Amino acid sequence: MPLNPLRPVYTISYVKELAPQVGLEPTTLRLTAECSAIELLRNTVARLEILTGANEFYNKADSMRSSEYLPHTKPNRLTRRKDPIHSSFVSFALLGLPLCSQPFTFPLMTIRQWRIARRSLSYGERTLVMGILNVTPDSFSDGGEFLSLDRALAQAEQMIIEGADIIDVGGESTRPGSEFVSEQQEIDRVIPVIERLSSDTAIPISIDTTKSTVARAALNVGAQIVNDISGLRFDPAIADEVARAGAGLVLMHSRGTPKDMQQLPPVEDILSEVASGLRESILVANQRGVANENIAIDPGIGFGKAAEQNLELIANLDQLAREFADFPIVIGTSRKAFIGKLLGDAPPDERLHGTIATVVASVLNGAHIVRVHDVKATVEAMRAADAIKNPTEPR
């Protein structure tokens, strides 16, 4: 593929076109030059991920680039980490014009990968934001707002514009006291939305369900992640569908069912309870063919926990992060009742500031992905939180 000398920065569509020709997968971006240490359009242009064969990449790339516009100098140092949990990266961005006359170096970055269907998501460098899209009539915060296909698609588009990394689509309310809906009803609500989003956007789509039939239908039309609030307790066959599709799986800790979970007596040691439940869910997933690199975990804020226990989990999330160091941690505090209680019984639409406080605390204590209704405010808060976590990183 010839390089266009009139195009100084090659965008994600161009890199996607190039990537298969050099046998690589486009993901995020970062370019570090020995002479300038530049970040180009972060999260917009693509990083070419090199898991193996760095020299092979350069041999292939050399044959595809113009000496007039791209330096031929190969990296003077490519040191790989032999680490079963972390992936090794060489970050590479294609430029149409030289940035400087000095040779380029491409230092390896240790960024963990969460494998989802047909791709992987990098986590650890920055916090990922999962936008909530409820296509239900009775969700606790936004029930009925996005029931129509047009309104659901418009909301998803808005969240993507605001910076969402994942859109999580749910067709069954799991608010305290809610009843299960039929499989067909849930499918009728979510499949048209997921099908359109999967064809119209490159953002990964997650299906929030506890039913294997719904998971299968969603994965078949393009969903890449299954988010199971029951941690496979309600329908372990979800793991079979995830394994078949090579999809991502979020395993959440919960107690009881949505109908009765807030009526259960609190457990004495919530951290031990959550850790034990997550270990069991991971074991079931593994036994059904889901690899660890496809699994994320969620401590299940608000699902069968007292208000004080939700706060305890957030305050001690670093303990879970250490125990489950191989897994990305998802946290979902958005607009939940314990925040309303802290704010003097504030209604769901007045819990934004409390939500931001809880997600920032969670991220500083080890969360990698935050699931929220208010994407723009959260994205901005995460930039600050990530800067605090990694103050020496260039911005």
The active-site residue out of 255, 336, 341, 351 is 336
DSSP run (H or E) holding 208: strand 205-208
Q: What is the pLDDT of residues 82-139, one digit of tens each?
A: 333 333 333 333 333 333 333 333 333 347 999 999 999 999 999 999 999 999 885 5
Sheet of strand 87-90: strand arrangement: 87-90, 108-116, 119-123
Mean pLDDT value across the chain: 78
- pLDDT tens digits for 315-334? 999 999 999 999 999 999 99
Q: What distances in angstroms separate CA 141 from CA 120, 133, 146, 176, one per listed residue? A: 31, 11, 12, 12
Q: Is the pTM of this model over 0.75?
A: no
- Domain borders along the chain are 12-106, 123-389
Q: pLDDT (tens digit, 9 = 90+) per residue, 151-168?
A: 999 999 999 999 999 999
Virtual torsion, Cα 315, 318, 372, 283, nearest 10 deg? -120
User: Residue 251: left (phi > 0), alpha (psi -120 to 50), or beta?
Assistant: beta
**Among 53-57, 66-70, 382-386, whose mean pLDDT is lowest?**
66-70
Q: How confident is the model at residue 17 (pLDDT cuts 50, 70, 90)?
A: low
The H or E element that residue 54 is part of is: helix 54-62
Distance CA 11, CA 110 (A): 24
Buried b (16+ CB within 10 A) or exposed e, 212-227: bbbbbbbbebbbbbbb
Q: Check residue 178 and give its pLDDT.
A: 64
Q: Strand pairing of 119-123 and 128-134? A: unpaired
**What one-character-per-residue DSSP string does 219-262 give?**
HHTT--EEEETTTTSS-TTHHHHHHHHT-EEEEE---S-TTTGG
CATH number attached to the domain at 123-389 = 3.20.20.20
**What gap in Å lies between CA 99 and CA 71, rounded to an integer?**
9
Catalytic-labelled residue, pool 112, 371, 376, 395: 371
Question: Is residue 201 pLDDT above 80, yes or no?
Answer: yes
347 burial (CB, 10 Å; 0-12 / 13-18 / 19+) is: exposed
Residue 64 has pLDDT above 60, yes or no: no
- Cα separation values, 175 from 68, 72, 319, 335, Å: 60, 58, 27, 12
Does the annotation mark 371 as catalytic?
Answer: yes
Predicted pLDDT at 111: 77
The helix (run of H) or strand (run of E) holding residue 168 is strand 166-170
- Active-site annotation holds for 336: yes
State the Cα–Cα distance between residues 290 and 280, nearest whole angstrom.
Answer: 13
Query: Which pair of tokens denotes residue 368?
Result: 């990698």
- CA-wise closest residue to 44 among 3, 13, 6, 89: 13
SS3 of residue 200 by DSSP: helix
Helix (H, G, I), strand (E, B) or coil at 234: coil
Cβ atoms of residues 223 and 247 within 8 Å: yes
Q: From CA 156, how far away is CA 177, in angstroms rounded?
A: 27
Quick one: pLDDT at residue 183? 96
